[in-house]
């Protein structure tokens, strides 16, 4: 019985440990998006997660280790979602619609992500390009571009797609002022989604 009881205690401690680690990661994700790498302080994170600083360092040796895990997970999730919408079984229209939906779903759930990524991209561009290659997204996008029959035109289409989806989130303070309470930002974004899909299809058909 003692042995079995000991296993039970270990299991409960293990679950508590995982819950604590998850809470730290969730809090770190929020703070990094709000403040960026340079703006986050480990004491702030400990307070947000409801743990002491010593326990925080027990799970994550330093801020860089924690940031790398958060950044990689966020970008990998986006890349994987985009790649899933670009399968060879899809038509060009389905690929465009799927990619637009993937971006908007991710950005609505993480509205500070574009500013966060751009800031870190300027500091350490190789981190993002490495993730890009690890996810083999360059191969998926390459197939998409080649499917248009013109690599240059396909590249322009992809850059336009990303720009149209991402810019509103980067310029949200300005857009909120323009909307002046007549329309919420979320409503504006949902209205914009089908417009972008139509614009991209028209662009694809003209190049």
- Dmax over CA atoms of the chain, in Å, equals 75
Least confident of 125-134, 185-194, 196-205: 125-134
Give the residue with greater pLDDT, 127 vs 192. 192
What is the chain's Cα-based Rg? 21
Rounded Cα distance between 108 and 110, Å, is 5
Higher pLDDT: 128 or 182? It is 182
* Best-predicted range by mean pLDDT (7-11, 27-31, 124-128, 166-170): 166-170
- Coil/strand/helix, residue 1: coil
Confidence of residue 174 (pLDDT cuts 50, 70, 90): very high
Q: What are phi and psi of 91, to 5 degrees?
A: -75, 170
Specify whether domain 63-206 bears CATH 1.10.357: yes
pLDDT band at 102 (very low <50, low <70, confident <90, very high): confident
Q: Measuring CA to CA, how many Å separate 198 from each of 84, 91, 169, 193?
A: 21, 15, 20, 9
Domain ranges within the chain, ordered by starting residue: 1-60, 63-206
What's the CATH number of domain 1-60, 1.10.10.60, 1.10.3720.10, 3.40.50.300, 1.20.1630.10? 1.10.10.60
Q: Looking at the whole model, is its pTM more than 0.75? A: no
Spatial distance between the Cα atoms of 41 and 49, rounded to a whole number of angstroms: 12
């Amino acid at each position: 019985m003692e042995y079995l009881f000991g296993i039970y205690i270990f299991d409960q401690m293990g679950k508590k440990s995982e819950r604590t680690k998850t809470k730290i990661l969730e809090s770190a994700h929020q703070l990094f998006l709000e403040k960026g790498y340079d703006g986050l302080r480990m004491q702030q994170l400990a307070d947000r997660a409801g743990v002491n600083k010593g326990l925080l360092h027990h799970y994550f040796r330093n801020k860089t280790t924690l940031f790398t895990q958060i950044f990689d997970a966020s970008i990998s999730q986006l890349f994987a979602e985009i790649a899933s919408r670009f399968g060879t079984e899809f038509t060009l229209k389905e690929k465009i619609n799927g990619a637009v939906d993937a971006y908007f779903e991710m950005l609505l759930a993480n509205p500070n992500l574009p500013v966060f990524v751009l800031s870190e991209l300027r500091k350490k561009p190789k981190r993002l390009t490495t993730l890009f290659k690890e996810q083999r997204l360059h191969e998926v996008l390459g197939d998409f571009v080649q499917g248009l029959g013109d690599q240059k035109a396909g590249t322009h289409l992809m850059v336009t797609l990303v720009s149209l989806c991402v810019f509103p989130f980067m310029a949200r303070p300005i857009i909120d002022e323009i909307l002046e309470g007549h329309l919420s930002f979320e409503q504006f974004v949902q209205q914009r989604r089908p417009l972008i899909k139509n614009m991209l299809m028209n662009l694809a058909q003209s190049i």
